[in-house]
């Protein structure tokens, strides 16, 4: 194993372990503090507003400075400090403040890391999935670990756990090889053309529609498992199964991922999102709900990998990091705000069964929209428009 690839895989493991503590267990931590579902939505949704500005900001900084590693080092250092204080705070106001700060420092690392993964895999002539697999592994291992850490050491132990992995992540990041520079000047005109093109807009709308129910489930799965009678260890097991099921998908991405087939894969993942949430509506046993998370194997990893590859086919070369940031902003940021605010209100109003029936209806809408886009793409309408723009 080449050292640069080994370091990048180790960094993916550690970074996604940090994401597991934040994304999967912040709602559980807040729920353990006695905070209601609607107020959990307010805390997470307010933090999501920050990502609207922070993700594009750090993406543009990375593109202009032509470094991903340098920006990641700054973000890891700040996120480590903030994460420690977040998980050792009890007041509502401090929880809101530290959540907003962690959204500002930690969440922008995701698109930058994915951009580093994608560009480095091309440079080293290895598959993207062989790197991203270790991110899924880190998420899975940490999700399982945190559940038992909370059970045996209490929720207050999460601060030290987050700080420990943050420090190790910083050290490993120092050893990373930076992503290659494109050598092309950054052009606001090219970015504007990318965002204004109808194909891009339709693609981002599809991502937004599909992401809302996915993010609602991510936010309230732990809360729902508690409502069904499950403990924090069961929440950890659920996320372990979900993230662990991604490992094989990413590892075999060289086999199933094909250029030009991305939209069909997005449609396939949308169908399984619909099936997953529809089945969730009828499950009342927390253990059965936990095992159902194995359907993650054909939802998020397929959907997001296909979306990344599709994006890289249409984004201008010099804006790859920023384009990746736009994708993450829509999937995790804007949709996360809607999912947090609306999801908290919705969960309190309709509870588990109707909550998941509504999520399944949203995923069905994403499936139908993706099928419409496939039909439109076959006519070559968007491609023809793109050709006219390039010759104009």
pLDDT tens for 358-391 read 999 999 999 999 999 988 877 765 554 544 444 4
Given a contact cutoff of 8 angstroms between Cβ atoms, the answer to whether 8 and 131 are in contact is: yes
> Residue 117's pLDDT is what?
86
Given a contact cutoff of 8 angstroms between Cβ atoms, the answer to whether 353 and 365 are in contact is: no
Given a contact cutoff of 8 angstroms between Cβ atoms, the answer to whether 250 and 132 are in contact is: yes
How sure is the predictor about 155, in pLDDT bands with cuts at 50, 70 and 90?
A: confident
| Domains, in order of start, for the chain | 3-178+186-391 (1.20.1250.20)
Q: What is the pLDDT of residues 88-134, one digit of tens each?
A: 887 888 988 999 999 999 988 988 888 888 788 878 878 777 788 89
How sure is the predictor about 337, in pLDDT bands with cuts at 50, 70 and 90?
A: confident
Distance of alpha carbon 13 from alpha carbon 37, whole angstroms: 30
Provide the 8-state DSSP code for 174.
H
Q: Provide CB contacts within 8 A for 69, sequence distance 6+.
A: 116, 173, 176, 177, 178, 179
> Residue 387's pLDDT is what?
42
What secondary structure does DSSP assign to 280-337, as a single string?
Answer: HTT---HHHHHHHGGGGGGSHHHHHHHHHHHHHHHS-GGGHHHHHHHHHIIIIIIHHH
Given a contact cutoff of 8 angstroms between Cβ atoms, the answer to whether 79 and 163 are in contact is: no
CA dist list (Å): 109 to 74, 189, 272, 320:
10, 26, 28, 15
Instruction: State yes or no: pLDDT of 187 exceeds 70.
Output: no
Provide the 8-state DSSP code for 186.
P
CA dist list (Å): 158 to 43, 88, 258, 348:
18, 8, 40, 27
Distance of alpha carbon 184 from alpha carbon 304, whole angstroms: 27
> Residue 386's pLDDT is what?
46
Share of the chain above pLDDT 70, in %: 88
> Residue 70's pLDDT is what?
92
Question: Greatest CA span in the chain, whole angstroms?
Answer: 65
How sure is the predictor about 293, in pLDDT bands with cuts at 50, 70 and 90?
A: very high
Share of the chain above pLDDT 90, in %: 31
How sure is the predictor about 43, in pLDDT bands with cuts at 50, 70 and 90?
A: confident
């Amino acid at each position: 194993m080449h050292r640069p690839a080994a370091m990048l895989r180790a960094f993916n493991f550690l970074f996604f372990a940090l994401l597991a503590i934040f994304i999967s267990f912040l709602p559980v931590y807040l729920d353990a503090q006695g905070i209601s579902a609607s107020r959990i939505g307010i805390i997470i949704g307010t933090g999501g507003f920050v990502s609207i500005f922070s993700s594009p900001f750090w993406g543009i900084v990375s593109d202009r400075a032509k470094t991903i590693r340098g920006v990641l080092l700054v973000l890891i250092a700040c996120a480590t400090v903030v994460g420690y204080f977040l998980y050792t705070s009890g007041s509502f106001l401090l929880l809101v403040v530290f959540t907003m700060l962690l959204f500002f420092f930690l969440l922008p690392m995701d698109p930058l890391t994915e951009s580093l993964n994608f560009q480095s895999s091309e440079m080293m002539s290895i598959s993207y999935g062989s790197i991203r697999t270790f991110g899924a592994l880190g998420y899975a291992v940490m999700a399982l670990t945190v559940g038992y850490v909370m059970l045996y050491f209490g929720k207050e132990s999460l601060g030290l756990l987050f700080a420990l992995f943050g420090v190790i992540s910083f050290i490993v990041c120092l050893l990373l090889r930076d992503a290659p520079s494109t050598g092309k000047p950054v052009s606001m005109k090219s970015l504007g053309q990318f965002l204004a093109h109808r194909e891009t807009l339709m693609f981002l709308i599809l991502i937004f529609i599909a992401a809302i129910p996915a993010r609602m489930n991510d936010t309230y799965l732990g809360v729902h498992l508690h409502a069904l009678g499950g403990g924090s260890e069961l929440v950890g097991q659920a996320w372990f199964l979900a993230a662990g099921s991604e490992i094989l998908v990413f590892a075999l991405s060289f086999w199933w991922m094909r250029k030009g087939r991305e939209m069909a894969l997005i449609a396939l993942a949308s169908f399984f999102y619909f099936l997953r949430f529809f089945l969730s509506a009828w499950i009342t046993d927390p253990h059965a709900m936990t095992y159902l998370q194995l359907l993650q194997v054909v939802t998020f990893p397929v959907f997001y990998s296909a979306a990344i590859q599709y994006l890289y086919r249409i984004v201008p070369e010099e804006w790859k990091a920023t384009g990746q940031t736009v994708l993450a902003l829509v999937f995790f940021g804007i949709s996360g705000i809607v999912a947090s605010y609306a999801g908290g209100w919705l969960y309190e109003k309709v509870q588990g069964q109707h909550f998941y029936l509504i999520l399944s209806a949203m995923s069905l809408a994403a499936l139908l929209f993706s099928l419409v886009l496939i039909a439109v793409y076959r006519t070559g309408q968007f491609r023809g428009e793109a050709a006219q723009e390039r010759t104009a």
